[in-house]
Structure 1
Amino acid sequence: MPEQTVSRRGVAWFAGVEATGVVEVVDVRAQPERLAEPGWWAVVGDFEGTVRAWRFADVAAAEPVVAGVWTGPSAASWSSSIDRAGYVHAVGQVRAHIQEGDVYQANLCRVLSAPLPGEPDARALGALLGAGNPAPYAGGVQVPGEVWVVTASPELYLRVDGGVVTSGPIKGTAATPEQMTDKDRAENVMITDLVRNDLQRVCAPGTVEVTTLLGEERHPGLVHLVSTVQGVLTDDVADAPDLWARLLDATYPPGSVSGAPKSSALDIIAALETAPRGPYCGAVGWIEVGADGDVRAELAVGIRTFWWADDVLRFGTGAGITWGSDPEGEWAETELKAARLVGLASGVAAESMSD
């Protein structure tokens, strides 16, 4: 039986929809067949592997949000799981692994954290981010005592619609398009190829294609290179009761936030990073199963994402490391990605998180 929640409290919001009234929570890796049943599910997956889904009873078009009161941590209270010197050193270690042929690319991340006593209102932070940093896959899930995540993700992990699965890996970040480098472009091509290979494990032969390569997307304060990969699910995968186990086994964690080859990159990440990523670099989004069994879903990569637990608010930031990486430049990229959102959460326009 699925794990039962202690109450029907809770809210989730994504893609113009707001859901309330939690019915149950399911461990997706242990019971993927539950997500073949009709309903609307909010999904949060940790980078380390646990993926949970909450089924909500009431789903409707989201009304304009009247922002609640958000009182975030002070800008000075944030600390980093890896300081500047430690991060620069770790970039050097990744480059040494690349030189040895262990890996071609690895994503190196750090977790920013600040004390924030008492469970805050996730919807209030979501409204604040929506006004100050609009994002294509913005949303959040709050079930008191179980999950608290607010995302301003710009990156598509998996979309499933009409038997077609689509992914939109981001690699390459700069303040302006003119600052994008050959390293950024090469990294994007490398990870796009990894995602293509992942999707081929669940898609019909000959259907996986790169529909956009090195597309430029502008977001508040920065520019990304984004590619799009899609394919047609094989019938045995699309109709399988354990569809989500098969999709996760083929693609999780997302390639853009792990590295290539993925298994080697994950080993390096585990050795160098000093704090668990949790929902950061995992998956955040929704799955809807119709009465006829039709599946629609949109899961974002959990970047530009806040999560709260144990009276601490956290936010992750990172960069993809290749042989062409400049250690100080990679540190600066993690600063760029964090500054605007952490600043918004702390009540300032932008805040550098240098140690």
Structure 2
Amino acid sequence: MNWSDDPRRRGSAAFRGVRASRPVEHVDAVEHPERLAAGGFWVVVATFEGRIDAWRFADVERAPDVREPPEAARAWLGPARSAWESSLDESRYLAGVEAIRADIHEGDVYQVNLCRVLRASLPASAPGPDAVALSHVLSRGNPARHAARIVIPESASMPGAWIVSASPELYLRVDGGAVSSSPIKGTAALGVPMLHKDEAENVMITDLIRNDLSHVAEPGSVAVPELLGVHEHPGLAHLQSTVSARLSPTFEWTGAMWGALFGGTFPPGSVSGAPKASALRIIAREEPVARGPYCGAIGWIDADTRTAELAVGIRTFWWENDAGGTLRFGTGAGITWGSEPAAEWEETELKARRLIGLASTATMGT
């Protein structure tokens, strides 16, 4: 059987604890956010630039994790390690850091997340490369709390999607009237202490998230149950904080809920900057390509159980059928006045090194 005939790999999605298959409907959630609160199980992919696609799936099962049985996986055939190209090379990235420091010096902004997108040619027939095989590779080599796999073939009635993510970062979790977000800011190699700059950056973004959630929260309910927690991940450690709130009764699972949540909090503050409007303007100036689902949102909304979990789309691969087929991966760093350009470049390398290695096949293209 050709892998694309396997129902797990065509028209399916898997997240921590949830699997779904058989997409039956698509909505533009920017135009119709009320549909996400009305009923059904929705898989959501939002690009950093603001497009929000949602697909309603007919079949949903709860499972311990996102991984299929090991014997069901095929070998992943990725691009050669040397095939990856960056949208910003080292010299342009360093220049971008200095330009942002100048913006900070002028008082235009306090922090900006500067990112680059890696790309490599990866030809494949529809619906794309074997996403289940790549998700197996990542689950073994880089397990992540918000791992996700989405494969939706493009059709006349709905757009497609191909995403495999190892995101460690929670964008939004909703449980009834409770909402929370866990921004990550501050990165170091394992065993290396965080810098004062990392802590200051995390506090700055945590305050931004508090302000974002206040737009939809019951007054007085916004809290920070975790501040500057050190969380270890494969090959690196992050500083993480958590902000929680009660949804205002005006929004709690009403037709206005998701429009208000996205409108008040998107794009995620940890991957944009502060103030957010100024940071977005600078990002558009400094980054030569769109981020797409990288730094957007990836996850699910179950309107029937009134629960949702959306991750920030970092540590994420996505494939598009352009120029014969292209696999992409984004990496970035938060820039503050205290940033050292070379250190910020190395942070982007640290975040990408392990995952690009896992997704690359040494013998391909040689």
Normalising TM by the smaller chain, what interval? over 0.9
CA positional deviation for 1:15: 1.4
Normalised by the length of structure 1, the TM-score is 0.93
Where in structure 2 are there 5+ consecutive unaligned residues? 1-6, 155-159
Does the CA contact (< 8 Å) of 1:139 and 1:285 recur in 2?
A: yes
Deviation of 1:347 after TM superposition, in Å, equals 3.5
**Per-residue deviation at 1:68?**
2.2
Match of 2:218 in 1: 204
Q: Does 1:52 align with 2:33?
A: no
Letter of the aligned partner of 2:22 in structure 1?
G
Q: Unmatched 5+ residue regions in structure 1?
A: 1-6, 349-355
Shift of 1:325: 0.1
What displacement does 1:61 show?
Answer: 3.4
| Contact map agreement 1:288 1:296 (CA 8 A) in 2 | yes
For residues 223-260 of structure 1, give each alpha carbon's deviation from its aligned partner in whole angstroms, at most 9, with x where no partner exists. 00000000000001114213111100000000000000
Structure 2-normalised TM-score? 0.90
**Are residues 79 and 44 of structure 1, via their aligned partners in 2, closer, same or farther at CA, if it must alter by over 3 Å?**
same
Coordinate RMSD, CA, aligned: 1.4
CA shift for structure 1 position 124: 1.3
Deviation, 1:177, is 4.7
Match of 1:126 in 2: 135
Q: Is 1:282 the counterpart of 2:296 in the alignment?
A: yes
Do the aligned partners of 1:67 and 1:128 also contact (CA within 8 Å) in 2?
Answer: no
Contact 2:176–2:252 under 8 Å retained in 1: no
Instruction: Give the distance between the partners of 2:237 and 2:123, measured in 1 at CA.
Output: 34
Equivalent residue, structure 2, for 1:64: 69
Equivalent residue number for residue 337 of structure 1: 351
2:136 aligned counterpart, secondary structure: helix
Greater Cα shift, 332-341 or 177-186: 177-186
Match of 1:353 in 2: none
Work out whether 1:326 is the aligned partner of 2:343: no
Structure 2 residue 35 is the aligned partner of structure 1 residue 34: yes
For these two proteins, the number of residue pairs brought into alignment is 339
Give the residue type in structure 2 aligned to 1:183.
K
Q: Secondary structure at the match of 1:237?
A: coil
Q: Helix, strand or coil: the match of 1:235?
A: coil
Give SS of 2:192's match. Answer: helix
What is aligned with 2:89?
Answer: 83
1:268 Cα offset (Å): 0.1
Render the CA deviation track for 1:76-106: whole Å, top value 9, x for unaligned. Answer: 0000000000000000000000000000000
Partner Cα separation in structure 2 for residue 272 and residue 85 of structure 1: 13
Does structure 2 conserve the Cα–Cα contact (< 8 Å) formed by 1:167 and 1:230?
A: yes
Q: What's the CA shift for 1:70?
A: 1.3
Q: Which SS does the other structure have where 1:236 is aligned?
A: coil
Q: Tell me which residue corresponds to 1:4.
A: none
Residue equivalent to 1:258: 272
C-alpha displacement at 1:39, in angstroms?
1.3
